[in-house]
Amino acid sequence: MSLLTQTVKAIQPLNKTAMEAARARQNNLTKPPGSLGRLEEISIQVAGITGQERPVIEEKVVITCAGDHGVVAQGISAFPQEVTPQMVYNFLNGGAAINVLARHVGARVVVVDAGVAADFEPQPGLVIKKVAHGTADMSQGPAMSREQAVQAIEAGIEVVEDEIARGLSIVATGDMGIGNTTPSSAIVAAITGLPVADVTGRGTGIDDEQLVHKVAVIEKSLAVNQPDPKDALDVLSKVGGFEIGAIAGVVLGAAAHRIPVVIDGFISTAGALIAGGLSPLARDYMIAAHASVEIGHRATLSHLGLVPCLDFDLRLGEGTGAALVINVIEAACKVLNEMATFGEAGVSEKAD
């Protein structure tokens, strides 16, 4: 049995007993029931994910997956492909936005080379899981083989399992890859059936003319490859990216080990869409960090049944929005654990 098959089989429904206990405690804390809104809902979800009535968030990790895309040859990005490895070095040197925000929330950053079109020397903080030096140009044929799609997903699973061995309470997804909003939009259009123009944004900042061209390239890619919307592996292999596959693996690996996974922006949510296609149960283990400026993001979240925690006009990726929301999730669990009940505080409850 392959690692992917084993992982999908290991994903179980949320623990209803733990959720009911967490909900009962929330309703008995010194506040009107439901008055802390989403914080209460999140703590109950985390209880169901972990199977712990009073979950504690301690070890935090942001896994930022990097890869390159052959489709950049079609002129769909405002930045050259060389920026991908340059940003990987920036991550490793601690100088990127994700490093700042991860330090702020006390999370370690793990950078995964899932398919960058450059080679790196082994170094701390970098996990080399390179499937290939970038995908093929999806506008001309499949971005990768089905076997490579499985390899990319299993790379993400392996990284999560290695982090579990180090200690892991919560994981956040992140991405880096010049041109990767293009395969992300293709994945979303393929799986949701929405028009390409309705799920394709400006990425790193292309102009109106470039946006029209980008939509046309995605439409051509879908026409050339005909991905099967009911087969997530087929969609990933036809119009996906190695880092997107690795993100899907992170989601599946976390779900299989009952660890909450915070989904970042548009690219991460495209990976989550692949994971949800492979295991519908995995959706219950996801917490959507934010609503990206990318126009396809809200449609993707809606398809997954996820409600974003923040709406900050973010569109950087890297895991930045997800890192911020780790703090929110930790706060939700602390409220559940540390607030006094009416009985403990000697406060009168609402009259009948």
Condensed to tens digits (0 to 9), the pLDDT of residues 252-294 reads 999 999 999 999 999 999 999 999 999 999 999 999 999 999 9
Alpha-carbon distance 146 to 168, whole Å? 30
**Backbone Cα Rg of the chain:** 20
Alpha-carbon distance 192 to 177, whole Å? 23
DSSP structure class, residue 284: G
C-alpha 163: how far from chain center: 16
Confidence of residue 239 (pLDDT cuts 50, 70, 90): very high
| Lookup: tokens for 334 | 């602390």
| Helix (H) or strand (E) segment spanning residue 22 | helix 16-26
> What are the Cα distances from residue 45, in Å, to 10, 35, 61, 181?
19, 17, 19, 30
Alpha-carbon distance 108 to 48, whole Å? 25
- CATH for 3-55+336-345, options being 1.10.3470.10, 1.10.1610.10, 3.40.50.800, 3.90.1010.10: 1.10.1610.10
Backbone φ and ψ for 253, nearest 5 degrees, come out as: -65, -40
Task: Give pLDDT, residue 98.
Answer: 98
**For 214, how many CA atoms within 13 A lie in the half-sphere containing its CB?**
27
Active site residues: 318
| Lookup: tokens for 165 | 């061995």
Alpha-carbon distance 177 to 171, whole Å? 20
Task: Give pLDDT, residue 208.
Answer: 87
Alpha-carbon distance 326 to 321, whole Å? 9
Q: In what order do the strands lie in the sheet with 261-263?
A: 126-128, 107-115, 60-67, 170-176, 261-263, 286-288
Mean pLDDT of 14-25: 98
Strands annotated E in the chain: 60-67, 107-115, 126-128, 170-176, 261-263, 286-288
Alpha-carbon distance 47 to 209, whole Å? 48
Lowest mean pLDDT among 26-30, 208-212, 213-217: 208-212
Determine how many CB atoms are found less than 10 A away from the CB of residue 56.
13
Specify the pTM. Answer: 0.97
Q: Is the pLDDT score of 311 beyond 80? A: yes
The pLDDT mean for the chain works out to 96
| Lookup: tokens for 95 | 């100088």
Confidence of residue 1 (pLDDT cuts 50, 70, 90): confident
Angle between helices 242-256 and 3-10 (to 10 degrees): 40
Quote the percentage of the chain above a pLDDT of 90: 93
Q: Is the pLDDT score of 190 beyond 90? A: yes
Alpha-carbon distance 256 to 247, whole Å? 14
| Helix (H) or strand (E) segment spanning residue 38 | helix 37-50
Alpha-carbon distance 31 to 53, whole Å? 19
Contact between 173 and 261 (Cβ < 8 Å): yes
Mean pLDDT of 43-50: 98
Mean pLDDT of 84-98: 97
The residues spanned by each domain of the chain are 3-55+336-345, 60-328
Mean pLDDT of 42-61: 98
Task: Give pLDDT, residue 351.
Answer: 63
Mean pLDDT of 162-176: 97
Mean pLDDT of 181-185: 97
Confidence of residue 349 (pLDDT cuts 50, 70, 90): confident
Task: Give pLDDT, residue 63.
Answer: 98
Task: Give pLDDT, residue 43.
Answer: 98
DSSP structure class, residue 293: S
Listing DSSP states for 185-253 in one string gives HHHHHHHH---GGGS---TTT--HHHHHHHHHHHHHHHHHH---TT-HHHHHHHH--HHHHHHHHHHHH
The CATH-assigned architecture of domain 60-328 is 3-Layer(aba) Sandwich (3.40)
Q: Is the pLDDT score of 350 beyond 80? A: no
Condensed to tens digits (0 to 9), the pLDDT of residues 324-335 reads 999 999 999 999
Q: Is the pLDDT score of 352 beyond 70? A: no
Contact between 262 and 322 (Cβ < 8 Å): yes
